Structure 1
């Protein structure tokens, strides 16, 4: 075959052809999803707010080193005989774009608009650069370090590994010391490990586990009756817990003998059950797909989303619900390597929606040290939004909890998303203060203001 007939490879790439390897099963799902809807980019995006004197030349240099350490920053995609492949190509440019916004009337707003436009624009995953970095200068001594990468080559956990590695290398450089060595898995080895799992008895055991969990499920339960494809942009409503509520939340976790993530997931299950009147609700649970220490340090695309089925009966108490969620999450984590594409394929209705609102619990501190500067991390996008995403994450010092509602704008208006968010915050407050023996259905759904509206203004 004439090499010039290989799709996606030109004459300059011939030396790398032997190093090309196929996409992993996890990557293939995103490859096909992106080609089905090319106008909606499936990107991870985040930025670090750096208040201090940032050396952008050092940042650009160490970013290239980190991209090489994790390999994902140098991945290119191509097709060989119609089959999607990837190449780790160290010759790729990794420029740090410098954007000066100091003269903008509102530099923060201008930066937010620039980043939103950048991560939501359509990209060609074969021809376009899959990772982009920029330093947005808001003030003389304040920058946003922005990074965007397509999900097909790096998932959210891997993106955090990349940003953390850049910070480690930057700190070592400005402090004049050698950085700690980093041991990661090579991308071809990560792919081979995934293939080995799919050919193992564990794969079949996991398949049987998920078949039992989805048996009898009709469709996902959500808060909107509209149907629409996933969207890159989203309606966002955010709030930070007050100091008082944060203290009571920690006390409630201790009172219910559980952990924070389990309590948070249980609160969403309880809220969704009351809002829909359903005794069985299904949540979408993001999992890392990284079950070894090596993979947890590595790049690549390994993450997964699995359905979490929770029963909330009329007599189910708060303590019983938390216990059920704890068991369900433990089971999901034990079987997290089985891909959500396979779960859907094994369902009675492969095209139907089995997964409900996504609950993303990210309880890691948002502070990233860049030498003498403590940067504050903000996650902008973890990919497209199918329906509704509920994100829990901590502030830079790990002392306050943030709760965001990210909604598909084609399913929820801004007003609807804001109302659902406010209603959940009221419910969450009541759930935190509830006695463990109280039936979940007795936890008030409406806050004082909305209850007065219904009982007095509308009645």
Structure 2
């Protein structure tokens, strides 16, 4: 973070943005930026529920260097922070979002607290059990003032992620974060997402001998063949509406003609 010229929380946000960019192929990601909403001394002294989560957009390209992405994230975070008093529920209402629709993508929640605690001569350990509801995915970075370390937790909506999938995401993010910190001039498109043995295995899958019988048919070719074999069989169902292969094929051809013209 120092070599890129940004604060480490911003560095984490940039790393999460790159992880989403690489995993989902997005040219622009929208991160959730949790903020205190306390911009004045009076607000900081007053017990109240003022925290907020702001949507933060980050444009990315595989050719961008780590330092470029980090500085871009830093500038965008400063711009977004000027609007931290705008209530998230009002923004949700203005955008017409439902209760279960996420307002932003995964968030980075930096929890930098003094975790040293003692009762007389007896030391105690603090455990943060929850950081609040998670719309999709959240990175919780626990920074310890005691030993100077950082613990990365990954939190998720249980309806979208199971425990095994979340563990894989955590491993991939930590691996990318380590590579992210090694060389600030490295292009983000060259950062590893999978372990070296897994990468080698995936490469081998695409370099084996050609299967007997030549190349496999493409998806459009397979669909056309199926439509010819069973034109009146049901192809797709949406609610109470369904289409046969013949009907779907006719719609596809009509759309293709419209697009070409």
Equivalent position SS for 1:378:
coil
Q: Note if 1:378 corresponds to 2:127.
A: yes
Q: Is the 8 A contact 2:32 2:106 kept in 1?
A: yes
Match of 2:97 among 337, 350, 353: 350
CA distance in 1, matches of 2:21, 2:102: 17
CA distance in 1, matches of 2:182, 2:102: 34
Flag the 1:289–1:398 CA change in 2: closer, same or farther, 3 A.
farther
Q: Note if 1:429 corresponds to 2:216.
A: no
Aligned-residue offset at 1:428? 1.0
CA distance in 1, matches of 2:123, 2:145: 9
- Give matches, 1:305-320, under 5 Å: 305-320=53-68
CA distance in 2, matches of 1:446, 1:281: 21
Q: Is the 8 A contact 1:365 1:398 kept in 2?
A: no
TM norm structure 1: 0.42
Flag the 1:299–1:398 CA change in 2: closer, same or farther, 3 A.
farther
Q: Note if 1:328 corresponds to 2:69.
A: no
CA distance in 1, matches of 2:198, 2:169: 12
Residues 370-405 of structure 1: per-residue CA shift (max 9 Å, x gap) = 333343221111222221111111246242110001
Aligned-residue offset at 1:456? 4.6
Match of 2:114 among 365, 369, 383: 365
Q: Is the 8 A contact 2:10 2:74 kept in 1?
A: yes
Q: Note if 1:340 corresponds to 2:88.
A: yes
Q: Tell me which residue corresponds to 2:2.
A: 254
Q: Tell me which residue corresponds to 1:445.
A: 193
Deviant stretches of 4+, over 4 Å: 456-459
Rg comparison, structure with higher value: 2
Aligned-residue offset at 1:458? 8.5
Aligned-residue offset at 1:295? 2.4
Aligned-residue offset at 1:407? 1.5
CA distance in 2, matches of 1:332, 1:369: 38
CA distance in 2, matches of 1:373, 1:256: 41
Q: Tell me which residue corresponds to 1:400.
A: 149
Q: Is the 8 A contact 1:365 1:397 kept in 2?
A: yes
Q: Tell me which residue corresponds to 1:48.
A: none
Flag the 1:407–1:317 CA change in 2: closer, same or farther, 3 A.
same
Q: Is the 8 A contact 1:376 1:396 kept in 2?
A: no
Equivalent position SS for 1:380:
coil
Structure 2, unmatched stretches of 5+, are: 208-261
Q: Is the 8 A contact 1:282 1:354 kept in 2?
A: no
CA distance in 1, matches of 2:20, 2:122: 41
TM norm structure 2: 0.72
Q: Is the 8 A contact 2:141 2:152 kept in 1?
A: yes
Aligned-residue offset at 1:340? 1.0
Residues 4-31 of structure 1: per-residue CA shift (max 9 Å, x gap) = xxxxxxxxxxxxxxxxxxxxxxxxxxxx
Q: Is the 8 A contact 1:391 1:403 kept in 2?
A: yes
- Give matches, 1:34-433, under 5 Å: 253-347=1-95, 349-351=96-98, 352-395=101-144, 397-433=146-182
Residues 141-187 of structure 1: per-residue CA shift (max 9 Å, x gap) = xxxxxxxxxxxxxxxxxxxxxxxxxxxxxxxxxxxxxxxxxxxxxxx
Q: Is the 8 A contact 1:359 1:391 kept in 2?
A: yes
Aligned-residue offset at 1:353? 3.2
Q: Is the 8 A contact 1:389 1:406 kept in 2?
A: yes
Structure 1, unmatched stretches of 5+, are: 1-252
CA distance in 2, matches of 1:393, 1:287: 15
Equivalent position SS for 1:422:
helix
Ranked by relative contact order (alpha carbons within 8 Å, sequence separation 6 or more), the top structure is: 1
Flag the 1:398–1:336 CA change in 2: closer, same or farther, 3 A.
farther
